[in-house]
Structure 1
Amino acid sequence: MANHIHPATSVSSPSMANPDTSAARSGFRERFFNPAARQKLLAFASLLLLMIFFSVASPNFMEVDNLVSILQSTAVNGVLAIACTYVIITSGIDLSVGTMMTFCAVMTGVVLTNWGMPLPLGIAAALFFGALSGWVSGMVIAKLKVPPFIATLGMMMLLKGLSLVISGTRPIYFNDTEGFSAIAQDSLIGDLIPSLPIPNAVLILFLVAIGSSIILNKTVFGRYTFALGSNEEALRLSGVKVDFWKVAVYTFSGAICGIAGLIIASRLNSAQPALGQGYELDAIAAVVIGGTSLSGGTGTILGTIIGAFIMSVLVNGLRIMSVAQEWQTVVTGVIIILAVYLDILRRRRRT
């Protein structure tokens, strides 16, 4: 009698033959072709296209001095954007990051120049007053239930006024503070590799980015940051102290603004009390361009850094092409509107 073999048992599908391969492919698609990854790739492609365009439009764009200038300007905006990333992931907003940066720079000037304290205390002062300012904003939002937009708008004006009052409306110079300018202007990388004179400010940016990314993705603090933006009420019902973590996010964001204050004060070798307002717009634009949703719940530090470089390259390229300052502002405004509109489109597609 002939042997009959059932077709279902004689031929196996590829996925059944090698389930590990199928799972690996699925994991690869999920990792590299999800909406967040596509947004980062799109932002990076936009950055490359901008650099190619400005390189063709002006031969001065790719000069070493100009590239270093782009890196230096990105250092300040990038650190502020990292601070904004945490807040925006919680579905909040912080309009005070620019003036908070200035306030921290002024307080560093008071500690180092007016009081004659050593450099480490000046650095600690920047971090402390940044964290304190963020804590106040967080308490107003979490405990008094003031909307983040209004609370941080008020904090922006408050810190701007305090900076002017404390400094007497005059810049505070660090000429007598040994080693302060080295924080941002010297180059540890250049000492090791003379052909790469990358300022310390850029090194600080990437160290802050790496540390912030680890905290955001590998810690309980990071998980609660995402959860606050995804579904705050569900987090509250699960027994988590929502107000505590919300205040913690704004405090942490404020401390990062303190680092930005150190960078800009060291770069200018002075604390300029009238500086700061307007930086928050570039920072928020960098965050949104990098793929962080204004509705909260999603975002990456890598995307934010790419967004910060896009903003810096755009402004620098327009300046190299001798575009008038007022038109540079117009272009920046258009970019912000487009970035927010693209975020709205992304949210519609998900729903």
Structure 2
Amino acid sequence: MSIPKETSAPVAKSASAKKMLMGDLMQTVGILPILILIVAVFGFIAPPNFFTESNLLNITRQASINIVLAAGMTFIILTGGIDLSVGSILGTAAVAAMVVSLIPAFALLSIPAALMLGLLLGLFNGALVAFAGLPPFIVTLGTYTALRGAAYLLADGTTVINSDISFEWIGNDYLGPVPWLVVIALAVIAVCWFILRRTTLGVHIYAVGGNMQAARLTGIKVWLVLLFVYGMSGLLSGLGGVMSASRLYSANGNLGVGYELDAIAAVILGGTSFVGGIGTITGTLVGALIIATLQ
């Protein structure tokens, strides 16, 4: 009579997680020298100013919003798509948050309103791509243009200002020595890494980007994957809008112009293939830090 052997599933899962994390880090190491070189050059050119605490904090604050946008963009580019509307969604969500903050009875709903608006706009993009079969470039370019007009209308053509917003702590306060903006950005990176590397959905995202038709034939619900990645991008763009508004105490129709280019650059610089299927969220993080340092 044989004695059944105990399974080592938890150990196997733990080893798999460590292997994935190490794989991501090894891919990221390839672009780390670029960041180190840039930091060294700037440190040599402006030694009294570059390595000051205030300057380094400013760089991380600048990077935080792009990190959040680029995280959402990573999901989309991994599927072989693109989202040109993230800057416009950010601007529209920021204006919406500021407008709601001016209504005393609904001031506490500023953040949920911005996040929900971003999510719905992202899902709208995803629905057009997944169900109408329209090219992501065309869909998001149209959304980009339309939302710029919507943001101007929502702001009544002016800058919406509120120096007493309930969420100002996001852009100006600290968790210990670390700005909340940076804490939120790193939390987003952690969640995105978990989704991409530790869930079935993450496997499906890579599969869709590698070969959409083959993914469909294996039973993957491609439409659901596309809805998720565009919805995630919209949600994170809405979060970026909250972060921007909390730092500026204001928002207008121009907020977020050009942010989509920075987000795309961070993703590609971080090693994600523009045709999809290859890339890491940790690479995107380093790419965003490189861009922030250059700026």
- Global fold match (TM > 0.5): yes
Change (3 A) 1:33 1:248: closer
> Residue type matched to 1:84 in 2?
M
In structure 1, what is the equivalent of residue 54 of structure 2?
65
Q: How does 1:69-88 map to 2 (within 5 A)?
A: 69-88=58-77
Cα distance in 2 for residues equivalent to 1:32 and 1:277 = 34
Q: Is the 8 A contact 1:95 1:280 kept in 2?
A: yes
Is 1:122 aligned with 2:110? Answer: yes
Cα distance in 2 for residues equivalent to 1:95 and 1:39 = 26
Cα drift, residue 78 of structure 1:
0.8
Is 1:169 aligned with 2:153? Answer: no
Q: How does 1:292-331 map to 2 (within 5 A)?
A: 292-315=272-295
Cα drift, residue 130 of structure 1:
0.6
Is 1:272 aligned with 2:259? Answer: no
Q: Aligned to 2:31, what secondary structure does the other structure show?
A: helix
In structure 1, what is the equivalent of residue 80 of structure 2?
91
Cα distance in 2 for residues equivalent to 1:274 and 1:48 = 33
In structure 2, what is the equivalent of residue 106 of structure 1?
95
Cα distance in 1 for residues equivalent to 2:28 and 2:22 = 10
In structure 2, what is the equivalent of residue 155 of structure 1?
143
Q: Is the 8 A contact 2:25 2:282 kept in 1?
A: no
> Residue type matched to 1:184 in 2?
G
Cα distance in 2 for residues equivalent to 1:298 and 1:32 = 15
Change (3 A) 1:206 1:31: closer
Cα distance in 1 for residues equivalent to 2:290 and 2:218 = 40
In structure 1, what is the equivalent of residue 169 of structure 2?
182
| RCO comparison, higher one (Cα < 8 Å, 6+) | 2
> Residue type matched to 2:171 in 1?
A
Cα distance in 2 for residues equivalent to 1:154 and 1:248 = 20
TM-score (norm 1): 0.75
CA RMSD, Structure 1 to Structure 2 (Å):
1.9
Identity %: 39
> Structure 2: any 5+ residue segments left out of the alignment?
1-15
Cα distance in 2 for residues equivalent to 1:84 and 1:147 = 16
Cα drift, residue 33 of structure 1:
9.9
Q: Is the 8 A contact 1:180 1:269 kept in 2?
A: no
Q: How does 1:213-252 map to 2 (within 5 A)?
A: 213-252=193-232
Q: Aligned to 1:117, what secondary structure does the other structure show?
A: helix
Q: Is the 8 A contact 1:130 1:258 kept in 2?
A: yes
Cα distance in 1 for residues equivalent to 2:22 and 2:161 = 50
Cα distance in 2 for residues equivalent to 1:146 and 1:253 = 18
Alignment size in residue pairs: 277
Q: Is the 8 A contact 1:87 1:93 kept in 2?
A: yes
Q: How does 1:197-208 map to 2 (within 5 A)?
A: 198-208=178-188
Change (3 A) 1:65 1:181: same
In structure 2, what is the equivalent of residue 326 of structure 1?
none
In structure 1, what is the equivalent of residue 123 of structure 2?
135
Q: Deviations over 1:42-99 (max 9, x none)?
A: 2111101110110010021111111111011001111111010000000000011111
Q: How does 1:46-61 map to 2 (within 5 A)?
A: 46-59=34-47, 60-61=49-50
Q: Is the 8 A contact 1:113 1:172 kept in 2?
A: no
> Residue type matched to 2:60 in 1?
L
Cα drift, residue 153 of structure 1:
0.5
Cα distance in 2 for residues equivalent to 1:199 and 1:175 = 19
Q: Aligned to 1:275, what secondary structure does the other structure show?
A: coil
Q: Is the 8 A contact 2:72 2:229 kept in 1?
A: no
Cα distance in 1 for residues equivalent to 2:39 and 2:162 = 35
Q: Is the 8 A contact 1:88 1:292 kept in 2?
A: yes
Q: Is the 8 A contact 2:94 2:245 kept in 1?
A: yes
Q: Is the 8 A contact 2:192 2:281 kept in 1?
A: yes
Change (3 A) 1:115 1:142: farther
Cα distance in 2 for residues equivalent to 1:138 and 1:237 = 20
Cα distance in 2 for residues equivalent to 1:83 and 1:183 = 20
Is 1:285 aligned with 2:259? Answer: no
Cα drift, residue 241 of structure 1:
2.1
Q: Aligned to 2:247, what secondary structure does the other structure show?
A: helix
Change (3 A) 1:109 1:39: same
Q: Is the 8 A contact 1:291 1:300 kept in 2?
A: yes
Larger Rg: 1
Change (3 A) 1:294 1:241: same
> Structure 1: any 5+ residue segments left out of the alignment?
1-26, 191-197, 316-351
Q: Deviations over 1:8-29 (max 9, x none)?
A: xxxxxxxxxxxxxxxxxxx9xx
